[in-house]
């Protein structure tokens, strides 16, 4: 008997970042045996293909302003429609990226499906970076540094309004895990945002198990399910070299699995995205294979 259906959608997007290559992430994750291994766990899979994303060289100069904002808006709006339909069908949408900008679309779609029924979404965001910049605070203007701000209702209006003009997640229902590289102005946003953030120091001091217990509680309080947004740069580069913006001092291989296993054990996971896999910086497809292993843990794979 099937445990349910996982809808897989790729978003080959690297327009949100300066560093290129994460647009090849969806292909390399699929090639790393994603579908078969999900099906071995007892799930059905439905691959919805990739959203069409132009290369930078194909984009007209008029559409390159504000770091490709108008192009990105269309792409994440398409993704929002896809993840909304997936939730409405009772499926588990799995978005594979692509830079972290894609989370604007995946979260907006899931949240809008719940919002239509008077329900709320919780969020666990695993990342080396806070992704809380706004156009006013970002030193680069790159949109992949803004998606968490967008889904709590801050930033470009054309992005915050995707899926409806409401905050897609309440700040008090956001757990941000693994941060260790934050811009100066973004640091103040993090402190004042109302989200519960866990720096690597806090993880070191408390241990990941206690951190995850609290994170799941935060994301579950008065919500009807959790979205997981997992940036592979949260992992120590020794284990996951194939990312666009590596930062040393991250989660270990085993800590990451524990994080995902505990989310699976909560039985509250509705949807997820895994992002920022960059084959251009990977070694022997190590990060793509690791990503598949992480997805399986989130879906409930256990040691015994």
Backbone CA torsion sign across 8, 39, 275, 61: negative
CA dist 41 and 59 (Å) reads: 41
276 is catalytic: yes
131 is catalytic: yes
Q: Report pLDDT digits (tens) over 38-76.
A: 999 999 999 999 999 999 999 998 888 899 999 999 999
Model-wide pTM > 0.75:
yes
Considering 233, 236, 273, 282, which one is annotated as catalytic?
A: 233
Considering 50, 91, 99, 129, which one is annotated as catalytic?
A: 129
Query: Rounded to the nearest 10 degrees, what angle do helices 253-266 and 208-220 cross at?
Result: 40
Reduced to 3 states (helix: H, G, I; strand: E, B; else coil), residue 156 is: coil
Residue 208 has pLDDT above 80, yes or no: yes
Residue 92 and residue 76 in contact, taking contact as beta carbons nearer than 8 Å: no
- Work out the average pLDDT over 3-11: 97
144 is catalytic: yes
129 is catalytic: yes
Q: Report pLDDT digits (tens) over 92-148.
A: 999 999 999 999 999 999 999 999 999 999 999 999 999 999 999 999 999 999 999
282 is catalytic: no
Reduced to 3 states (helix: H, G, I; strand: E, B; else coil), residue 150 is: helix
Backbone CA torsion sign across 175, 141, 106, 153: positive
Residue 191 has pLDDT above 70, yes or no: yes
Q: How confident is the model at residue 1 (pLDDT cuts 50, 70, 90)?
A: low
Considering 131, 183, 186, 282, which one is annotated as catalytic?
A: 131
265 is catalytic: no
Quote the DSSP letter at residue 277: B
Quote the DSSP letter at residue 243: B
Considering 91, 144, 227, 257, which one is annotated as catalytic?
A: 144
Domains and CATH numbers, the chain: 5-298 (3.40.800.10)
91 is catalytic: no
């Amino acid at each position: 008997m099937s445990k349910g259906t996982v809808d897989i959608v790729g978003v080959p997007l690297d327009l949100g970042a300066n560093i290129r290559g994460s647009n090849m992430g969806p292909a390399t994750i699929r090639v790393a045996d994603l579908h078969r291994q999900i099906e071995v766990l007892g799930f059905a899979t439905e691959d919805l293909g990739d959203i069409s994303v132009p290369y930078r060289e194909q984009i007209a100069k008029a559409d390159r302003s504000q770091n490709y904002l108008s192009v990105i808006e269309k792409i994440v709006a398409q993704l929002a429609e896809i993840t909304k339909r997936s939730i409405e069908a009772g499926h588990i949408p799995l978005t594979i990226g692509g830079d972290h900008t894609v989370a604007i679309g995946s979260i907006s779609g899931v949240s809008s499906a719940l919002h239509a029924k008077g329900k709320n979404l919780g969020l666990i965001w695993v990342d080396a970076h806070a992704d809380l910049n706004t156009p006013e605070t970002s030193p680069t203007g790159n949109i992949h540094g803004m998606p968490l701000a967008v889904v709590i209702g801050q930033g470009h209006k054309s992005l915050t309004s995707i899926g409806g003009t409401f905050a897609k997640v309440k700040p008090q229902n956001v757990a941000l895990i693994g941060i260790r590289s934050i811009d100066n102005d973004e640091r103040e946003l993090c402190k004042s945002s109302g989200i519960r953030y866990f720096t690597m120091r806090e993880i070191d001091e408390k241990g990941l198990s206690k951190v995850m217990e609290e994170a799941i509680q935060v994301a579950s309080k008065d919500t009807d399910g959790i979205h997981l947004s997992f940036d592979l740069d949260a992992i120590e580069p020794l284990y996951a070299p194939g990312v666009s913006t590596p930062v040393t001092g991250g989660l270990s291989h085993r800590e990451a699995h524990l994080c995902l296993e505990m989310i699976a054990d909560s039985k509250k996971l509705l949807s997820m995205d895994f992002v920022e896999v960059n084959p251009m910086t990977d070694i022997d497809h190590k990060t793509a294979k690791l990503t598949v292993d992480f997805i399986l843990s989130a879906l409930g794979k256990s040691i015994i």
